Structure 1
Amino acid sequence: MNTLINISMRKFFVYLMLLLSNVLISQSAVKELDSLKLMLSKQDNGDYAKVNLLNTISYKNYGIAPEEIYNYAEKANLLAKKIGFTKGEARSKYLMGVYYLSKGNFKDAFGAIEKSLQLYKKINESHGESTCYDLMGTISYYQGNYKKAIVHYQKALQLAEELGSKKKQADFINNIGNINLAQGKLDEAIEYYNQVIAIYEELNDKKSILIPLNNIAVIYTRQGKNLEGLACFKKSLEINRKQENKKSIADDLINIGAVYSAIKDYDKAKESYREASKIYEELEDKNGISLCIISMANIYRDLGDQKKSLSYLNKALENYKKVNGKKGTLTSYHNIGTVYFKESDFKNAEKNFQIALNIAESLGEKRIIGMLNIALAKVYFHFKNYSKSFKYASKGEKIVNELSLLEEQREVNSILAKLYKSKGDYKTALEHHILYKKLNDSLFNKENIKKIAELEYEYKYKEQLQSANYKELQLTQEVERTALALAKSKQNLLIGIIIFLLVSVVLGGIILYQKLKNIKSVNENILMEQKLLRSQMTPHFIFNCLSVLQGVILNREIKNAVKYLSRFSKLLRITLENSRDKMVPLKKELEALQHYVMVQSLGVEKPFDYTIHKAEEVQEEEVLVPPMLIQPFVENALEHAFEEEQTDRKINVNLEYKDNQLVCVILDNGIGIASKKQSNILLKKSLATTITKDRLKMLSKEFKVDSSISIKDRREINEQGTEVTLKLPYKKIAND
């Protein structure tokens, strides 16, 4: 899908939109600008306020009047320098960088942002530093330096995490995903985009969810899932039209046109590209205009008008060379080579494909590298240089199979079939031809495949139905013959057979009922074990432990770090070991509990006292108990029982036999369940209690013992805190 070579360029505009906080290009924005300019003319609140107002007007001109971005930022910069307002000077330099980037001037853009970063560092302004690193990452990305871009984005992300800005974290993770997408690392890219979606869902920001969704749509189109991708792009376009966001409207139109072109609906593709081009021209956006030119060139190439296509592509190449846009230059050479190939001018096709391949390898564009290797394999096949053709085809096949690019897989299997045929290896040639046909059907005959599948299903269903009817008819005839024979012989025998059949049906029903009951019981056990595993070590607890360990290491507290890591690893090991068995020695359960409490005690600011006491008659090595029954209640006490200001924190765990029952009592001196705060927490955090109750209910049936949980506020006995009483099922290990 050559048209989709251009899709990655749309990220240029999406990045800028994110960096300027999604400024809405609308009539209301123009009115806001007029209001700000009026305020500027009446400004008498001091030079600091004037600098901020000038920067704000510069910021608001994005997408409306590009030259005004620079003019107002320059005025702000001069005034800020004069009065020594470093923050205002840093902001104005940043806005100048945005202006240069919108014009495709990467060198001046990077220089301006570097100056802005140094000024922000001078005054320790983390938010400004993060924004600068983000834009530096974007510039590095479009210069083809992906490694450097990721370094800048990760620095921006680290600062955003320190500031606690979820929205910025989402933006920066999305940018890292974009780099993985450009390098053909599709699985990694989807993983990053899903992280972004999760953050936006947490923030309930439905509009911003469309950004990572659009990126996933790009991946769909590359994998030949055009309808899924088109649906995402159209949804984005609908929202952006309502908000009159011109930049984003143009970006969506480019994507929609690319998908229409891929499915050969060229009229709709042209319509989308023309509308996008008008918007880019209105915004004086050279990169966007060049992108539209290449897209239109690809349509004329596919329609057979190679002369017109080549004219468009040479114009685009000239534009990209002026702004040193390597990715656009790569796209232009690639498409020019494709046009020459269509015209059977294989010499010029080879020349342009080789130039494009060199650029793609320098940029690390894995997907494009695969496509160009296949293109060169086709060229050398026409030159009858089969050894060279096979070399490039093999390289291309490896890459496109790795990236699951359906259309490119189709192309490479087609050329490999021809190559093996030329060698006389007809068996391998046939295998590749079959793969080519399957992929061709997958890409262009999805509806036919669906219909065939439906017909196949219907045929098989009717065939089975007819077979069942025939068997039923045969059985009926057999029964009738048997009945006649029995009637002629002995009536008593018939009655016996009928009774036997009735008894068999009843017994069969009982057996089936018991099997279903057993299956249900097994499923309940499996579900309970899954819930138990999920509740044992929550991701939140593990994350907190690792965060504490990170802090200890960063503070160079080596001994504490080793101690903490040792405790934590033992806790994980024991928890995993215990989870394998239905019953474990009480000693192991208490050991796991002790490690858990000690790990928790190392990671809290306010210490707490805890004791684990068992009566003398409780021999921990001779008693087996179900795992993970006590720990959830100790965890609830640690996390929810105590007020922030409480310093005297105690938790006691006592084990003893009462009336031949193993009883565990968990005491704390916290706020008690009768308090409003603790009651609310118990309502929200009832998962552990619910799972434990269900487990005890099932274990009671299995071991035929009474098991129960009771929770009460200690205020009832004039004490402070909560008391949890567990009657545990147990087994004693028989001594030889």
Structure 2
Amino acid sequence: MKTYINSSVKKSCVYLLLLLSNALISQSVIVELDSLKSVLSKHVKEDSTRVILLNTISYKNYGVAPEEVNNYANKAKLLAEKIGFTKGEARSMYLISVYHLSKGDLKGAFSAIEQSLELYKKINESKGISTCYDFMGTISYYQGNYDKSIEYYEKALQLARKLGSKKKEADFMNNIGNINSASGKLDDAIRYYNEVIAIYEEINDKKAMLTPLNNIAVIYNRQGKHLDALAYFKESLEINRKLENKKEIAGDLLNMGAVYSAIKDYKKAEKSYKESLLIFKELNDQHGISSCIISMANIYRNSGDYKVALEYLNEALNNYKEIDSKKGMLTTYHNIGAVYFKQSDFKNALKNYQIALNLAEDLGEKRVIGMLNIDLAQVYFQFKDYTKSFTYATNGKKIADELSLLEAQREANSVMTKLYRHKGDYKRALEHHILYKKLNDSLFNKENVKKIAELEYEYKYKEKLQLANYKELQLTQEVEKTALELAKSKQNLLIGIIVFLIVSITLGGIILYQKLKNIRSVNENILMEQKLLRSQMTPHFIFNCLSVLQGVILNKEIKNAVKYLSRFSKLLRITLENSRDKMVPLKKELEALQHYVVVQSLGVEKPFDYTIHKAEEIQEEEVLVPPMLIQPFVENALEHAFEEEQVDRKINVNLEYKNNQLVCVILDNGVGIASKKQSNTVLKKSLATTITKDRLKMLSKEFQVDSSISIKDRKEINEQGTQVVLKLPYKKITND
């Protein structure tokens, strides 16, 4: 994931640090403002009550009418000074500071909050002092001074603990968590967030828990756990829509857009960004507007429209320069460099990456420093300055590994692969490509197989070629030495020796070629065996069926033999038909299972009861499932679930929809999997379970559905036997 995503996510989260961000921007607030203004018009006396009314109206206008925040706060300040109401004056200066921050005036905001702090100290108002320290921490964060920010938040936290305010304690700890997150100390950040959640659970404030949960989602997003992050952001958005919290809604939409962009769903990303941008423009929030502009720019960059992307980014850069936001400028320069790199304009890419790196080092943005080192390594590789490229790549990878930044680790291993390849160190190139492949895609797909095979072949081929060249050099030197020693010998003898050496080298080359050809052939055979494994029926099952049939025929049980043979042939025919397709109707799969169980029941000495049940809402002719997924687990139950002396044997197969998933539960009343764990048979079966799991993963990715296998002993629920739960990938046949 690129820098702009993380920065935009951080900015939207930092807005949650502001005490006033909990104000409800809704119709109810407007009604409340009208009521307060009516009371103010009637209370004409210049006293502390009027100051409180003016400050309250100023506070309520935050997020509704920013200019009114400043207007009423200044009126309150003048009146408070006039009547000597220090507490009211301190509150007015706090609100004036909030106004300046909302306009991007960081210096004005800090100056006003310092005045507010001095006034609160003058009257020894601990609650007000704590609030000022909190806001000073927020402003310092925007200025990029993380150490100062944590120092102010710690002061606010200590006062909150003395006052016994659990709510404030949680707020300040959340802020400290945000700073740790920004500086790359993700474990510390999560620790603070979890402490905050514990406090909110203690005081039963479910709404407030959304803030730390949202922050944890941001960390998941950085670590590449995009679906986990998206789930948290969607939950936050749903609650904020109900509360009509416009600023928080805009932040959630911006965060969701970043996640969609990271998983390359650019259509949904653009929709989220545009909706967020409209709200930020309505609120005249310059930070939010700039974040949306950067995010939109990267949508155009990824679609190849670099001209429009640069126009957006330059607009954002000008906005950040006007409000003197170093963090915003860092994000923008980084993304401008990325656009130039995409255009192969490596000179301008280098220039912008370097500016961004300088800003990141000034701000102590360790995570961004790591990413920029990797970006610079890519640029210097293009310039063929491999020494600098290797230095930057090594630095970037070290930080990425330290902070567990999966996408940065992937890019670092990618450039390291190219560097070692250039050096001719194909072994290390292969090692880094394997790491890159694991980070890039957890599934074993065809493209990765091909790439690894190429690298393995290249490494082995080059290694043997170098050995052959060395031997050839040795042989050549021997030829020259022999030629000197036999200078006086007969010419035909010399020619014979040279011919012999040439033939030897040629034969060596032919042998080497044949060995490499054999290696390729072995790899192709392995891939073919893997394909066959998916559709193969177990040989011992077929052998057992034929043995049973032979026994029935020898006993002259003609009717049973015909019945058994009919069932067995139908089972073979359905299995062969199903094996040709990735997906088959559920009806055919259940029919094959039915035939299989009947064939098995005819061939066993001790009978067993079985049921195959599906829920009424499952239309088996309209649902497609992968073939041969259920049968191996039924076979496993028949073969291994029951002790020899057990008489009452039952196997139940149930299919139903749960949470829009097709779930198959296979139950037996045998001895249970816990009793079988030490047997060799079960250990052999674990391979089949692993292959089935891998197959489900591949099918899940291909059809974009969730699927899984879970096996447990029913003793856990005071029952007998084993339970297998299969969440099957499926498709519904539509009539459109």
TM-score, normalized by length of structure 1? 0.62
- The equivalences for 1:599-614 within 5 A come to none
Quote the residue 1:593 is aligned against. Answer: none
Aligned-pair distance for 1:391? 0.2
Paired amino acid for 1:9: K
Contact 2:137–2:152 under 8 Å retained in 1: yes
Matches of 1:117 and 1:460 in 2, distance apart? 73
Quote the residue 1:23 is aligned against. Answer: 23
Matches of 1:125 and 1:468 in 2, distance apart? 84
Quote the residue 1:283 is aligned against. Answer: 283
Aligned-pair distance for 1:202? 1.1
Quote the residue 2:323 is aligned against. Answer: 323
**1:339 and 2:339 equivalent?**
yes
Aligned-pair distance for 1:459? 10
**1:4 and 2:31 equivalent?**
no
Matches of 1:333 and 1:377 in 2, distance apart? 17
SS at match of 1:101: helix
- Return closer, same or farther for 1:143/1:426 CA change in 2, 3 Å cut-off: same
Matches of 1:366 and 1:407 in 2, distance apart? 15
Aligned-pair distance for 1:408? 1.3
- Return closer, same or farther for 1:72/1:390 CA change in 2, 3 Å cut-off: same
- Return closer, same or farther for 1:59/1:460 CA change in 2, 3 Å cut-off: farther
SS at match of 1:20: helix
Aligned-pair distance for 1:299? 0.7
Matches of 2:361 and 2:187 in 1, distance apart? 21
- Alignment size in residue pairs: 488
Paired amino acid for 1:278: L
Cα shift readout 1:270-319 (whole Å, capped 9, x = no counterpart): 11111111111111111111111111111111111111111111111111
Cα shift readout 1:92-128 (whole Å, capped 9, x = no counterpart): 0000000001111111101111111111111111111
Matches of 2:300 and 2:362 in 1, distance apart? 29
Matches of 1:122 and 1:223 in 2, distance apart? 46
Paired amino acid for 2:327: K
**Which structure 1 residue ranges, 5 or more long, are not aligned?**
450-455, 481-503, 507-511, 518-736
Quote the residue 1:732 is aligned against. Answer: none
Cα RMSD of the aligned pairs, angstroms, is: 3.4
Contact 1:407–1:443 under 8 Å retained in 2: no
Paired amino acid for 2:9: I
Cα shift readout 1:490-531 (whole Å, capped 9, x = no counterpart): xxxxxxxxxxxxxx989xxxxx99xx99xxxxxxxxxxxxxx
**1:134 and 2:134 equivalent?**
yes
- The equivalences for 1:235-634 within 5 A come to 235-442=235-442, 466=538
Matches of 1:472 and 1:199 in 2, distance apart? 64
Contact 1:418–1:429 under 8 Å retained in 2: yes
Cα shift readout 1:4-44 (whole Å, capped 9, x = no counterpart): 1321111332122xx12611000010010011001000005
**1:73 and 2:63 equivalent?**
no
Aligned-pair distance for 1:445? 8.3
Matches of 1:153 and 1:474 in 2, distance apart? 78
Matches of 1:442 and 1:326 in 2, distance apart? 37
TM-score, normalized by length of structure 2? 0.62
Contact 2:333–2:353 under 8 Å retained in 1: yes
Matches of 1:460 and 1:196 in 2, distance apart? 51
Paired amino acid for 2:118: Q
- Return closer, same or farther for 1:350/1:45 CA change in 2, 3 Å cut-off: same
- The equivalences for 1:167-182 within 5 A come to 167-182=167-182
Quote the residue 2:471 is aligned against. Answer: none
SS at match of 1:207: coil
SS at match of 1:206: coil
Contact 1:406–1:443 under 8 Å retained in 2: no
Matches of 2:443 and 2:368 in 1, distance apart? 19
Aligned-pair distance for 1:440? 1.5
- Return closer, same or farther for 1:468/1:216 CA change in 2, 3 Å cut-off: farther
Paired amino acid for 1:250: A
Aligned-pair distance for 1:243? 1.0
Paired amino acid for 1:373: N
Paired amino acid for 1:414: S
- Return closer, same or farther for 1:432/1:10 CA change in 2, 3 Å cut-off: same
- Return closer, same or farther for 1:160/1:475 CA change in 2, 3 Å cut-off: farther
- The equivalences for 1:648-659 within 5 A come to none
Quote the residue 1:692 is aligned against. Answer: none
SS at match of 2:264: coil
**1:91 and 2:67 equivalent?**
no
Matches of 2:444 and 2:66 in 1, distance apart? 43
Paired amino acid for 1:15: L
Aligned-pair distance for 1:402? 1.3
Contact 2:46–2:79 under 8 Å retained in 1: no
Aligned-pair distance for 1:199? 0.9
Contact 2:14–2:178 under 8 Å retained in 1: no
Matches of 2:432 and 2:344 in 1, distance apart? 24
Quote the residue 2:192 is aligned against. Answer: 192
Contact 1:224–1:443 under 8 Å retained in 2: no
Quote the residue 2:43 is aligned against. Answer: 43
Matches of 1:92 and 1:32 in 2, distance apart? 20
SS at match of 2:207: helix
Paired amino acid for 2:168: K
Aligned-pair distance for 1:398? 0.6
- Return closer, same or farther for 1:114/1:458 CA change in 2, 3 Å cut-off: farther
Quote the residue 1:163 is aligned against. Answer: 163
Aligned-pair distance for 1:472? 7.8
Query: Identity over the aligned pairs, expressed in percent?
Result: 67
Contact 1:293–1:313 under 8 Å retained in 2: yes
Quote the residue 2:655 is aligned against. Answer: none
- Return closer, same or farther for 1:28/1:352 CA change in 2, 3 Å cut-off: same
- Return closer, same or farther for 1:428/1:62 CA change in 2, 3 Å cut-off: same
Matches of 1:352 and 1:467 in 2, distance apart? 64
Aligned-pair distance for 1:468? 7.7
Aligned-pair distance for 1:433? 1.2
Aligned-pair distance for 1:220? 1.0
Aligned-pair distance for 1:45? 5.8
**1:204 and 2:204 equivalent?**
yes
Aligned-pair distance for 1:197? 0.9
- Return closer, same or farther for 1:408/1:132 CA change in 2, 3 Å cut-off: same
Stretches (4+) displaced over 3 A: 442-446, 456-463, 465-477
Cα shift readout 1:133-167 (whole Å, capped 9, x = no counterpart): 00000111111110010010011111111111111
Matches of 2:269 and 2:441 in 1, distance apart? 23
**1:106 and 2:123 equivalent?**
no
Quote the residue 1:229 is aligned against. Answer: 229
Contact 2:21–2:247 under 8 Å retained in 1: no
Paired amino acid for 1:437: K
Matches of 1:37 and 1:444 in 2, distance apart? 67
Matches of 1:210 and 1:458 in 2, distance apart? 47
Matches of 1:230 and 1:444 in 2, distance apart? 25
Quote the residue 1:14 is aligned against. Answer: 16
